[in-house]
Chain A
Amino acid sequence: MFNPNAKQINLFKLVLFIAALGPLARLVLFGFADKLGANPIEFITRNTGDWTLYFLCLTLSVTPLRRISGWNWLIKLRRMLGLFAFFYATLHFTTFLWFDHFFDIDEMLKDVVKRPFITVGFTAFVLLIPLAVTSTNAMVRRLGGKRWQLLHRLVYVIASLGILHFWWMKAGKNDFAEPILFGTIVAVLLLSRVYWSVLKPKMQKRQTSPAPT
């Protein structure tokens, strides 16, 4: 089984870090090359929103991949993936707050309250904050593993809200192809957890219980 040493893992992390900055670098380059299209702010908002969802999916796929492949070291990449989901969500939210509302908090709050798809997106973003804040080793120790894990299960709620946000945004166009795709991926990733944590232990229990005589 592939089992990289600490040095190799650090290399993976470095590569992942640089790759994860790629989408941001692309936006900046496009900005300077005047390639963001007729409505650059819309382009940036959609692009950073898309990348938030990609990174959420990547983060959620670490555990299933680990279970299937037995590559336990993958867990060491999960925090960075999760933080990049938060990073792109922050860019997404900042674009909304800065370029769309120009820090007009009053206007922004009106939008958050009145428009359900924004309400849901905003909630998902707010829920990401405690996860990002408690992502350090020190915080894991402070909270204790059990409580930390419980808090980080919020990611299930966040991913679901993220999909709903995307779904409602696309509902304006009656165009659900992409939200359905994302929804399916997230549903599979979440259901795989139910399988491993609920169904599989039950099945194993049945197998290991003494045969009836």
Chain B
Amino acid sequence: MLIKRNPNGIDLPFGSEITPRAMFESRRHFIKQLAVGSIAGGALAEMAMREAFAQSGGTQKLAARPNPGFVVMDKPTAFKDATTYNNFYEFGTDKTDPAQNAGSLKPRPWTVAIEGEVKKPMTVDLDGLLKLAPLEERIYRLRCVEGWSMVIPWIGYSLSELIKKVEPTGNAKYVEFITLADKKQMPGLRSPVLEWPYVEGLRLDEANHPLTLLTLGMYGEVLPNQNGAPVRIVVPWKYGFKSAKSLVKIRFTKDQPRTAWNISAPQEYGFFSNVNPEVDHPRWSQATERRIGEDGFFSRKRKTLMFNGYSDVASLYTGMDLKKFF
């Protein structure tokens, strides 16, 4: 409805207990039953299954212990909104494209190569990543550079756990995230909107910050394809595009990585891209944001907080002019 968009939304602190989740479960069940009971049972049931699959990106549960140290009290965004409205240019430039087109991505088997300025380079598969450290559920705010925001219960562990394992050398100053670029699985690669593969990067101290999450799931289950399956990064104090999806390589480097958006429009997207209400973007004011699915149709946008409200990270930038290093 126009005015109140989420009548069943109830405030609960932990993502895996969010009501809309259960609502969708029951809806999926209903669709399935409906299809099985009909005359064209077989075909329809399959369609319903596919529909259910597309809605959730698969129903593989992922157990994680809530980490109360990393939980914001904002109401989590509905699972449906978080999985049907996002940017993932490898599947198209419209925000509804990823959910529609990401079915072709095969998140298993999957390996991630960790290389560069490290003493112990390695290639690790998904099971290895899942076992590398205890999985935690953390509820983070997500702020997109386009002026909208969400609140998402992610599952993963601090990237620093992985960094410890590979032992960066003294030369390592930056971490580069390289994401999958496979034309067969990603129809969006046909258009030259960005330089493929999509590359993002962090300074080593940013990558080591406990907030930086190596992410394997959300809303109590494995990552849906459209949200960066099977493994992605989440950096909650930076604009969403810094959080690279569907990672295949993590490289430790001496020099600052050339990142996809910085290559495409350096005057608009800096390397740091910290959420900063004082640094405007030529297309979007960063002073305010629209919380997806929560603010009613007739309500004002909310004020954007410096570092998206994660003020702990300010010490990473002491002495830096964040207007210059935007």
Interface residues of A (CB under 8 A from B): 31-32, 34, 37-42, 99-100, 102, 107, 110-111, 114-117, 168-169, 171-175, 177
Which residue from A39, A99, A102 sits with its C-beta under 8 Å from B148? A39
Give Cα A32 to B2, complex, Å.
6
Given A173-B93, A173-B193, the answer on whether A38 and B280 have CB atoms closer than 8 Å is no
Are B194 and A174 in contact, CB atoms less than 8 angstroms apart? yes
Separation in Å of the A65 CB from the closest CB of chain B? 32
Are B193 and A39 in contact, CB atoms less than 8 angstroms apart? no
Can you give 8 contacting A-B residue pairs, CB < 8 Å?
A37-B96, A41-B297, A99-B297, A114-B282, A115-B282, A168-B283, A173-B93, A174-B194
Are A38 and B282 in contact, CB atoms less than 8 angstroms apart? no
Are A102 and B84 in contact, CB atoms less than 8 angstroms apart? no
- Which of B146, B191, B282, B284 has the most A CB atoms < 10 Å from its CB? B282
Are B85 and A37 in contact, CB atoms less than 8 angstroms apart? yes
Q: 0/1 per residue, B196-235, Cβ < 8 Å to A?
A: 0000000000000000000000000000000000000000
Chain B residues lying within 8 Å of A111, measured Cβ to Cβ, are 285
Give Cα A41 to B295, complex, Å.
11
Which residue from B1, B84, B193 sits with its C-beta under 8 Å from A175? B193
B242 at the interface (CB under 8 A from A): no
> For chains A and B in complex, what number of residue pairs have CB atoms within 8 angstroms?
61
Are B283 and A114 in contact, CB atoms less than 8 angstroms apart? no
Are B283 and A117 in contact, CB atoms less than 8 angstroms apart? yes
| Interface size of B as a range | 20 to 34
Interface residues of B (CB under 8 A from A): 1-2, 5, 80-81, 84-85, 93, 95-96, 146, 148, 191, 193-194, 264-265, 268, 280, 282-285, 290, 292-293, 297-298, 300-301
Chain B residues lying within 8 Å of A100, measured Cβ to Cβ, are 301
Tell me the nearest residue of chain A to B280, going by C-beta.
Answer: A114
Known: A41-B297, A174-B194. 11 other contacts (CB 8 A): A38-B81, A38-B293, A39-B85, A39-B290, A40-B2, A115-B282, A115-B283, A169-B283, A172-B283, A174-B193, A177-B191
Are A174 and B264 in contact, CB atoms less than 8 angstroms apart? yes
Give Cα A61 to B31, complex, Å.
47
Are A102 and B300 in contact, CB atoms less than 8 angstroms apart? yes
Are B283 and A34 in contact, CB atoms less than 8 angstroms apart? no
Chain A residues lying within 8 Å of B93, measured Cβ to Cβ, are 173, 175
- Which of B1, B285, B292 has the most A CB atoms < 10 Å from its CB? B285
Give Cα A168 to B268, complex, Å.
13
Chain A residues lying within 8 Å of B191, measured Cβ to Cβ, are 175, 177
Which residue from B85, B265, B297 sits with its C-beta under 8 Å from A38? B85
Give Cα A206 to B280, complex, Å.
58
Are A38 and B193 in contact, CB atoms less than 8 angstroms apart? no
Chain B residues lying within 8 Å of A114, measured Cβ to Cβ, are 280, 282, 285
Chain B residues lying within 8 Å of A177, measured Cβ to Cβ, are 191
Chain A residues lying within 8 Å of B280, measured Cβ to Cβ, are 114
Are A37 and B84 in contact, CB atoms less than 8 angstroms apart? yes
